[in-house]
Amino acid sequence: MSKLTAERIIAVCLIIVAGIMYTQSTGWQQRAGSFPQFAEISVAVLAALMFLRTFLESSKKRLSGNVYFEFTYKAWKPLAVMVAGIAYSFAIFKLGFYVSSVIFYFAAVYMTGLRSHKYIFITAVVLFPLIYVFFSVVLDAFLPEGILF
């Protein structure tokens, strides 16, 4: 398969998935679906631009050649992180937002290959209290609670 065809297929799939996800958040109470709907509209718009870009002459040159599949962890790393993100989205409702976020943060950092434990820990110590203050104190947002919090 050519890289140009693969880029077009991915763009169309992103638009379809964004549409499906958008419809899932339309029946939520009050304005709970506002952020997911904004995010999905943004994904769909960017995917449409990605699709349209494949028709430009410069993109045809850039995307010349065929797609080659490697079966190494480095090649599959983006897919592994996406699968972890999907698992995270389910875990939010079972374990709670904060617990799931901490677990996902450390898992994603490890999966992407970052190994500076000092910076990873400092980032976590700064990031998670900021997330708590922003969502719980400033926005007074309802966040999913699971069996732990």
- Spans of the chain below 70 pLDDT: 149
Rounded-to-integer distance, Cα 109 and Cα 128, Å? 15
In this structure, are residues 112 and 77 in contact, taking their beta carbons and an 8 Å threshold?
Answer: yes
Per-residue pLDDT tens digits for 56-85: 888 888 888 888 878 887 888 888 888 999
- What element of type H or E holds 20? helix 3-24
User: Phi and psi for 123 in degrees, rounded to 5?
Assistant: -60, -45
- Tokens in use for 135? 């969502």
Rounded Cα distance between 149 and 144, Å, is: 9
- pLDDT at 149 (0 to 100): 65
Q: Given this model, what pLDDT does residue 140 score?
A: 80
pTM over 0.75: no
